[in-house]
Structure 1
Amino acid sequence: MVTQHEKNTSLLAHLSAFLGFVFPFGSILGPLIMWSANKDKSSFIEENSRRAVNFNLSYTLYIIILGMLMFPFAFGSFFNFIFHIDNLDHMEFPFEFGGLFGTLSIASIISVITVVKFILIIVAAVKASRGETYKYPLVINFVKH
């Protein structure tokens, strides 16, 4: 039987990921600190905090990859504007649609993933408060048992 203390600690492990909205890499450090401090105290706490760490590491990796994909679109569109600045006299639109579209598409995907992350953290926290272990989707297991 899972005690109330274990439920509360697991809840905090999931909710500590919200530190990432305040501090850089706080979404990783919060759950990582909770996991390292409590991994030997309870298998329930260890499982929940480890899953929170893996989810936030995976999410950060996905955002970095998407940011790297967005980089060429954004700078290509910007430099195209700079090198065609003389066209402004003719009221032409100097941006290429592909660069701008690529940037906006990837930025939209990042925004959707961030909203989904927010929702998944809340779902995992609620499950932990009920004594259940939540399995986040699309997670790479960086930290193992």
Structure 2
Amino acid sequence: MDTSITENQKSVSAFIHLSTFLKFLFPFANFFAPLLLWTLNKEKDFVDEHGKQAINFQLSIIVYTLLLGLVCIPLFIFFIADFVSLAELLDDSVHSFQLHEIKNLSGYVLVLCLIILVFIALFIFELYAVITATMQASKGKLYKYPFTISFIKSTSRTIRE
């Protein structure tokens, strides 16, 4: 078995990572594009490892996003309930409305800002990790994404760099 890494393997591995950015053009392309590239080239150990890492990372990102979304559901329900009471308050006191009559507004604004910051941080983390993985693949090095759930197990083969 030849373990030398060719320029083609480096390029394909880099494209596997870069193909995850297709999600900005097509829904779920961040799964299908790397999966297609990986499936067509997984007989090469280097490409196989990078393909598994890219797909595991994208699946992990979707799990983290869904969990964050699930945390937001109760907050959204409470906010809607308070928004309805705010609408009633505005309707009852059209001419004598005072801003201090709104209850928990600062708390909701704070929680909303925190959630937005977490989503932005997750987005920036994903950009950083994919770009780093792409650069490592193009250099012929293996890369393990941080905070990745191993849905597809890595084979841990030794690959000469």
Provide the TM-score with structure 2 as the length reference: 0.82
| Alignment counterpart, residue 141 of structure 1, candidates 127, 150, 155 | 150
Match of residue 82 from structure 1: 84
Distance 1:46 1:85 in 2: 56
User: In the TM superposition, what is the alpha-carbon distance from 1:39 to its structure 2 partner?
Assistant: 1.2
Contact 1:74 1:103 in 2 (8 A): no
Task: Identify if the C-alpha distance between structure 1 residues 105 and 95 changes in structure 2 by more than 3 Å, giving closer, same or farther.
Answer: farther
Q: Aligned runs of 1:1-145 on 2, under 5 Å?
A: 1-40=4-43, 42-88=44-90, 89=93, 90-92=97-99, 94=102, 96=104, 97-144=106-153, 145=155
Runs (5+) with no aligned partner, structure 1: none
Q: Which has the higher contact order (CA 8 A, sep 6+)?
A: 2
Q: Which amino acid aligns with 2:126?
A: K
* Rg (Cα) greater in structure: 2
State how many pairs are aligned.
Answer: 144
Distance 1:132 1:26 in 2: 25
Distance 2:112 2:77 in 1: 9
RMSD (CA atoms): 1.6
Detail structure 1 runs of 4+ shifted over 6 Å in the superposition.
Answer: none
Task: State the identity %.
Answer: 31
More helix by share: 1
Provide the TM-score with structure 1 as the length reference: 0.90
Runs (5+) with no aligned partner, structure 2: 156-161
